[in-house]
Amino acid sequence: MNNQFLRYLPLATGILGGTLLLLNRLLTPLLTPSQARSDVVGVILAAVLVLTTLIWQQVQPRPPEAVILEGEEGFELAADLDSALKTELAWLSYTLLTNTPTKSIVIWRGDRPLLRRGILGPKPMTAAGPIVRRALQTQRPIYLVNLALYPGRIEFDYLPPNTQGVICQPVDEQTVMILGTNAPRSYTKQDEQWVAALAAKFAQVLAEQYNKDSQGLDTL
């Protein structure tokens, strides 16, 4: 609210000053040369204040409005995961929730979710939809900046119903992170790079984990 007040203070001051100058001119029976010069200066100052607000609106656009996501906060992990992998997933999800606009996380691998955390959707993820499959196939992230504008949003029914934006970040050929946020266009380029860096780190953990498991099976 303080930011909003400061944003519109020059506009209000300029309009008030211009109005008072006009009233003063109308109520003055005899205009002197000095008063005329003062009125010109006052009008210029009022116009500068109004223009300052308009320019500020262009340079500093209003941030997107956030909503309160519908759902309960929770933390779910696949029960059969290795303890080291559970620890890595816990760290990864915590980092995303505390350092990016992410409010809801689902990590999917193969044919099941490994993790759900944050504000949970009404039901678990049971299958990868077309958008998630495309992210896995192309191995490129897909950022839906305003989910309400995309007909394909119906596949994200495992996220809170009023999720505003989604990033589908592939980790490897089988794994993808689905991140939901509570405001449209809330991820900056820096956020996207951070998400990609965390995904790359997690890909190494998965490779080491599943290579170790396969070597153990070969030995047996």
Rounded Cα distance, 140 and 215, in Å: 30
Cβ atoms of residues 181 and 187 within 8 Å: yes
pLDDT in tens, 42-101: 888 888 888 887 777 665 555 668 899 999 999 999 999 999 999 999 999 999 999 999
Band (220; pLDDT cuts 50, 70, 90)? very low
* Element (DSSP H or E) covering residue 210: helix 189-219
Mean pLDDT (the chain) is 87
pTM, to two decimals: 0.71
* Per-residue pLDDT at 87: 95
Token pair in block for residue 54: 């308009």
Band (2; pLDDT cuts 50, 70, 90)? low
Between 27 and 116, residue with greater pLDDT: 116
Q: Is the pLDDT of residue 218 over 70?
A: no
CA 89 vs CA 125, 185, 195, 210: distances in Å:
17, 26, 14, 15
DSSP annotation of 133 reads: H
Rounded Cα distance, 52 and 66, in Å: 27
Three-state SS for 184? coil
Three-state SS for 171? coil
Token pair in block for residue 178: 């689905």
Between 84 and 33, residue with greater pLDDT: 84
